[in-house]
Amino acid sequence: MGKIVILSGSPSVNSGTDKVLGYVGKLLQERGSDVVFHSVRDFEAETLVKADFQNVRIKGLIRDIEGADGVIVGSPVYKASYTGVLKSVLDLLPENILKSKAVLPIMSGGSSSHVLAIDFALKPLLGVLKGEVLQGVYVMDAQVDKEAEVPIVDVALERRLVSQVDELVGAIARVRQTI
């Protein structure tokens, strides 16, 4: 199936977003994918604030994404959008880094009132990076048990996640046929 890079935009150590992304990573590994996980917490604040394009960790993220067949970007909703630290990381990536890559956006929030953050905030940003952006999944905090080994506690959410993972696998196959 290929290599998938997961990038978490959550600055929280005990992150529900990370739990969901980890679950999605396991689904992809079960389908034969090699999954590489990156987090905004991997980067020092000084690197992001000073826009250090030469930082070794930024270069490592770039290498991983350039070598990937697909990318998943996840973020909690902060002020009706993705996190500022995620934007700071993405600002250090080359403009066309997601070209010819299927990209799955995943966002999480406390209520359904922020569901449009995917469509109006994250998807346009991923499109600027030239990704083939899928529909994506919005996750409410109540649908995730951060302490459980299988964190998804809502059957409908699990179906949506599995469906989007399958869509990602299909999109990667379609993109491969065109290049």
Measured between alpha carbons, how far is 81 from 65 in angstroms, rounded to an integer? Answer: 23
- DSSP letter at 129 equals T
Indicate whether 113 pLDDT > 80: yes
Indicate whether 179 pLDDT > 80: no
Measured between alpha carbons, how far is 7 from 147 in angstroms, rounded to an integer? Answer: 21
Q: pLDDT digit string (tens) for 133-177?
A: 999 999 999 999 999 989 999 999 999 999 999 999 999 988 878
pLDDT at 39: 98
Measured between alpha carbons, how far is 25 from 174 in angstroms, rounded to an integer? Answer: 20
Q: If 0-12 CB within 10 Å is exposed, 13-18 middle and 19+ buried, where does residue 22 land?
A: middle
Q: 149 phi and psi, to 5 degrees?
A: -65, -40
- Segment holding 8, helix H or strand E: strand 2-8
pLDDT at 64: 98
Q: pLDDT digit string (tens) for 115-131?
A: 999 999 999 999 999 99
Q: Of the ranges 20-24, 91-95, 109-113, which one carries the lowest mean pLDDT score? A: 109-113
As given in the structure block, the two tokens for residue 173 are 């196959």
- Segment holding 56, helix H or strand E: helix 56-66
Longest Cα–Cα distance in the chain: 44
> Rounded to two decimals, what is the model's pTM?
0.96
Q: How much is the average pLDDT of 70-94?
A: 97
Q: pLDDT digit string (tens) for 13-66?
A: 999 999 999 999 999 999 999 999 999 999 999 999 999 999 999 999 999 999
**To the nearest 10°, the Cα dihedral for 84, 44, 91, 24?**
-70
